[in-house]
Amino acid sequence: MGIEKIIEYYKNPKNRGTIKNPDAIGEGIGSCGDTMAFFMKVGKKKIDGKEVDYIKDIKFETMGCAVAVATASITTEMAKGKTIEEAKKITEADIVKEAGEIPEVKFHCIGLTLGTLRNVIANWENKKK
């Protein structure tokens, strides 16, 4: 498919924006200077009779390139609806699989996106303590 998927996610990103009164905010700065923030709302749901925390909503803002926008869109789509533990397991390979071709020189954008996801989750976990 090539880079067409990245361009589509850039032109029509999902989950771009902020959340009023988020349960947590996570931020990141890429090696290239791109900045990113994730805003997350957490809910509870029952799985196998056990109540677990899940990502009810997640949005992003970024001052970055097309790949940063696309990977943030992909990652928030993957994380939404997942339990916190499931979201922690999202990998670079998962993002690449969904994105299709990502130029190697832009792989740092995936690191920025995953780092921002980890930060928003860690900030939420720290608030719970």
Catalytic residues: 32, 109
- Distance from C-alpha of 94 to C-alpha of 88, rounded to nearest angstrom: 12
CA atoms in the 13 A half-sphere facing the CB of 23: 19
CA pseudo-torsion sign 86, 124, 28, 18: positive
Helix (H, G, I), strand (E, B) or coil at 8: helix
Amino acid, res. 15? N
Cβ-proximal residues to 65 (8 Å cutoff; 6+ apart), any chain = 32, 34, 106, 109
